[in-house]
Amino acid sequence: MSAPVDLSVHLSDPAATDALPARVALEAARRRTFAIISHPDAGKTTLTEKLLLYGGAIHLAGSVKARRAARHATSDWMKLEQERGISVTSSVLQFDWQGYKVNLLDTPGHADFSEDTYRTLIAADSAVMLLDNRKGVEERTRQLFEVCHKRRTPIFTFVNKCDRAGEDPLKLLDDVEKDLGITCAPVTWPIVDGDKFVGVYDRLTQHVLLFERGEHHGSQQLATIEGGLDAPEIAEHCSPYALDRLREDLELLDVGLGQFDPEAFRAGQLSPTFFGSALTNFGVEPFLREFVQLAPGPGPRDTTKGPIAPETTGFAGFVFKIQANMDPKHRDRMAFVRVVSGRYAAGMETTLTRTGKTLRLSAPQSVMARERQAIDEAWPGDVVGIVDKGTLRIGDTLLEVAPKDPPQFSDIPRFPPEHFVRVLSADPMRRKQLDTGLKQLSEEGAAQVFFAEADAKLGSGPSPIVGAIGQLQFDVMMFRLESEYGAPAKLESLGYGNPRWVTGDRKEIERVGSVHGRILLYDIKGNPMILFSDRWAMRSALDKETKVEWHESAP
Ligand code: G4P
């Protein structure tokens, strides 16, 4: 591993220069930046609300949804978002918890699932996999898990909805292991009295936590009775039968699931697992308590010149998402920057390493629950939104101290699209504008453009093909092509998917791509890629066509 890149800053005031390293190290150490990965309906919105409730960011849970609804009426948010009543972008929620600053990067889940959802995971230092206790791992959980797993992101598991009967916990964890190949290590374990979920046992502190339901239906923090397994106050509030059953379960866990191994967790091989009910708040506080202790703080991030450590005093950050047109009146865009090192200060000058030009980050914003809020400073692990006029791109590196031949953060990967459409100009006179729009959207990372011919470029030849992770990306693209480029477009579904990139002999690739049930396309860099009529056709081609090499993402 190469030596860390030194980007130390020296301020005009020597005392401030001396104090800065300690401040950066302290602020970095108390950041916990994570995302929730789940299938729609597992309870992500509910859990998010409850985390904010416990973090003191909102007083009555339920208000996130209520405020969201109220704001829709007055907000000048992107028109499409209003029309569809959905959130087009992900936002960042920050709250305090026992001295920690917790950043929850919201990942769009339902119809608004897009490449941004995947990219957001790259800005997170850990992830919480939220499962429904009846359904376990579902399709979207699997997709998001794979992205985290490939990057060795540490993953927590939270089994939700334990207030109603679900799959046997041991069986559920076994299924997760079989499905995803990750071992679940229960940190908390559900306590069921009769048929009621009454509390959890924390295996790390060896404490029983019994929750009192109250009359507030989960809108307030819970009263909790806490003590050892043999404590009189626990026996007073829980039946001997339930405690015996818990003891038996714990013995089984000790034999079967061994001890929590921090090394395996940090390597993304073992998932600390929690049980609870976001709806009734049961188990949410014990989760947060252990989460801030176990979750990694911001770590070093790789660049072309070696890793940049968070404690380096010079600010360094990368753009992981760009949201266009948040304010249609100004046509500005917001670039979401993950702070990797140093101190980010309002109005600071940075170098955009891609162009070597100086960029003043003049309008720093924290992006709290989709409200813009000016902020003065941010630290490693934080995410700031920068108002941008079209200079920044996804993957860009921003540095306060830029040495000659500056380091650049490793590329943000492109994720293979799941849907493909041909983009036709609805107005033949506007084809040029359409191509300009597509080119810019592609550079920005909002759409992936492909061609049916090897040497095709935007602006010539047949209509381009666009790929997206989620259908909503097409709606956003159409909307932007028309409103920003004056180029109305029509989309024609290709009816093919399951892309695989291919390398090898060109003639052989053309032969493989011309078989019935496949189409050969080229990405914007000219790399050949084959689409298939269905998953089965793709699998069969991978088995049979061994003269070419297959890749899940662009080589
Ligand atoms: P999502 O963001 O992951 O899509 O899920 P969301 O929080 O919106 O929750 C989906 C449904 O599951 C909601 O019910 C919600 O109340 C319910 N839910 C969430 N957490 C729990 C839990 O711990 N226990 C139980 N029993 N249910 C839970 P809904 O009827 O679809 O919506 P709503 O009318 O309650 O808002």
Question: Do the domain assignments include residue 8?
Answer: no
103 in the same domain as 50 = yes
5 belongs to a structural domain: no
Annotated binding residues, written as ranges, equal: 38-45, 106-110, 160-163
Q: Is the CB of 279 under 6 A from ligand 1?
A: yes
d(CA 550, CA 232): 63
Residues whose CB is less than 8 angstroms from the CB of residue 317 and which lie 6 or more positions away in sequence, other chains included: 337, 338, 339, 340, 344, 384, 397, 398
Whole-angstrom distance, CA of residue 3 vs CA of residue 18: 23
Count CB neighbours of 541 within 10 A. 21
Q: Is residue 411 part of a domain?
A: no
ipTM score assigned to the predicted complex? 0.97
Mutate to test the pocket of ligand 1, among 37, 38, 45, 46 (most ligand atoms within 8 A of CB): 46
Asked, for residue 7, whether it belongs to a domain, the answer is no
Based on the domain organization, do 363 and 443 belong to the same domain?
no
Residue whose Cα lies nearest atom 22 of ligand 1: it is 161
Cα dihedral across residues 232, 236, 240, 243: positive or negative: negative
Please spell the DSSP secondary structure of 251-279, one letter per residue.
Answer: HHHHHHT----HHHHHTTSEEEEEE-BTT
Number of structural domains, the chain? Answer: 3
Is residue 382 a contact partner of residue 31, using CB atoms and an 8 Å limit?
yes
Could you give the maximum distance between any two Cα atoms of the chain, in Å?
82
Please work out whether the CB of residue 163 comes within 6 Å of at least one atom of ligand 1.
yes
- Residue after which a domain boundary falls, among 367, 399, 431: 399
Residue of minimum CA distance from atom 31 in ligand 1 = 41
538 and 429 part of one domain: yes
pLDDT of residue 90: 42
Write down the pLDDT at residue 388. Answer: 82
Tell me, in angstroms, the distance from the centre of ligand 1 to residue 508's CA.
51
Q: Rounded to an integer, what distance in angstroms lies between the CA atom of residue 518 and that of residue 265?
A: 41
- CATH of residue 363's domain is 2.40.30.10
Annotated binding site for GTP: which residue ranges?
Answer: 38-45, 106-110, 160-163
Q: Which of 450, 432, 454 is nearest to 442 (CA)?
A: 450
Statement to judge: residues 122 and 236 lie in one domain: yes
- The answer on 385 and 492 residing in a single domain is no
**Average pLDDT per 10 consecutive residues for the chain, totaling 555 residues:** 78 78 94 94 88 70 44 37 43 85 79 77 95 94 91 95 93 95 93 90 91 68 80 87 92 78 88 94 92 95 94 94 64 84 91 94 56 72 85 92 90 85 90 89 84 75 86 85 89 94 96 96 92 95 96 86
Assigned domain for 110 exists:
yes
User: How far is the C-alpha of 494 from the C-alpha of 501, rounded, in Å?
Assistant: 17
180 and 276, same domain (yes or no): yes
Could you tell me if 281 and 161 are in contact, meaning their C-beta atoms sit under 8 angstroms apart? no
What is the atom index within ligand 1 of the atom nearest the CA of 47? Answer: 7
Same domain membership, residue 110 and residue 241: yes
Please report the atom of ligand 1 found closest to the CA of residue 276: 23
Q: Tell which atom from ligand 1 comes closest to the C-alpha of 40.
A: 4
List the CATH number of the domain containing 497. 3.30.70.3280
Q: Which domain holds residue 247?
A: 34-294
- State the Cα–Cα distance between residues 126 and 131, nearest whole angstrom: 16
Contact 340, 65 (CB under 8 A): no
Which token pair is 187? 């940190």
Q: Would 408 be classed as within a structural domain?
A: no
Question: Which numbered atom of ligand 1 lies nearest the CA of 48?
Answer: 7
Ligand 1 atom with minimal separation from the 46 CA: 7
CB of 164 closer than 6 angstroms to any ligand 1 atom: yes
The model's pTM: 0.86
CA–centroid distance, residue 22 to ligand 1 (Å): 43
Main-chain dihedrals φ then ψ at residue 108, nearest 5 degrees: -55, 140
CATH of the domain at 243: 3.40.50.300
Name the residue with the closest Cα to ligand 1, atom 16: 279
